[in-house]
Structure 1
Amino acid sequence: MLFTSEIFDMYQQYAAFKRWHFETLEYFPSEIGGLRHASASIGGSEAYKHMKFEGGVHRVQRVPKTEKQGRIHTSTMTVAILPQPSEINLVINPKDLRIDTKRASGAGGQHVNTTDSVVRVVHLPTGIVSECQQERSQLKNKEMAMKKLRAKLYSLQLEEETSKRYNARKIQIGTKGRSEKIRTYNFPQDRVTDHRINKSLHDLETFMQGEYLLDELVQSLKDYANYESLVEIISKKV
């Protein structure tokens, strides 16, 4: 959960570095200062084209502060990147929705109060559920829940279309390739390695600041994905 908090902060700093808009939709901290789960909306020039490479399992290897024997512990966290559709790309029939409201409860909510501020939206045809209790305003929570629902539905639609075109050797970026780790953050060796392109960068502290080193790695992933696409097009013509 501590690593999850650091990764979330890294993406927030990366958004600032790229001059994108970053809005926290959900944030559920743990009791020890880490992060259980969070979601954010990121918008800006080619934001999805960059961020889609971050989807997958991220692994951290380091000696925790609570470890007295100096042993290295390994933990993982998962990042999911969903493209945000426009009104033109996706139309949702209001008849297909069930919207419920309830009172916020538990220690996870940032603004827990006694009003019916939690909004839960269910898309009946697919069974996809989206919930938000981040804000005090029920209207604002409904707006955010709908935003998340649209992203989930669009991602499902996109996945169905792209799965027909992706073959086994295609780099698993922004698809279902979240079962295996995509990147390792090794603190004792001051190294971050992206396993999809077998590239390592050093100076992990600078990398976690979410600026030029992260941008360099993302650019390498973009270049490799473009190369894979080109090879696929050529092989089909041949």
Structure 2
Amino acid sequence: MTDVPTGARHVLILGGTTEARRLAARLADEPRLRVTSSLAGRVAEPRLPVGEVRVGGFGGTEGLARWLCEHQVDAVIDATHPFAGTISFYAARAAASVHVPLLALRRPGWVAGPGDRWHHTDSLAGAAALLPGLGERVFLTTGRMGLAAFAHLTGPWFLVRSVDAPEPPHPPRMEVLLDRGPFTVAGEAGLLRRHRIDVLVTKDSGGAATAAKLTAAREAGIPVVVVRRPPVPEGVPVAEDPAGAARWLRTVLG
């Protein structure tokens, strides 16, 4: 643990996103704060934020509540990926049980524009059900954890992009592209052409780092299946950027 001044308020950032890293950097120069960033440990070589970092799960709601008490946490900011729903609900229940204020930091979702051919669904299973009517060569950018939802589709060919290599079960006709954003429109357009992609599947993660594929799909006239993000737990306030999260901290910590 790094040296912190006596009486510093302890802030836990549930991280793993660009916004979480930016928030940790923003708070690093606050002398009255001690900031710990927590990463789930699902990525082999994560981009680490500045300051204290812990890696791994907490053991569910009770484990997280216990950690908050043992480490005297004064505020929690859930800056996990918009689709990391389980930890968000653990955090909401744990923070409420030990009376620690909690904020969700969520980047805004993507919004369709003129020329977009988007098909929305609430789940990966729903996305898989839509594919047979939309295309045969699929660019799948939903991450390595949900490929089982597409494993039964023997007809389409999939280009799967993820940071780490996926594990079975997965579609039988598949090529894996290991890469990490940010991506450019020109790069995404070239990828669509080279692989003759005729449908894109993505989660509404929002943000600029991976939005270029949507522009490339629009320009190519390719339909996009967009999986809606799960809701933030009821009653949890939301900030859309690190500046808003910092303002919330000033309010709740005084």
The TM-score bracket by the shorter chain reads under 0.3
Normalized against structure 2, the TM-score is what?
0.26
Normalized against structure 1, the TM-score is what?
0.28
Task: Say which structure is richer in strand.
Answer: 1
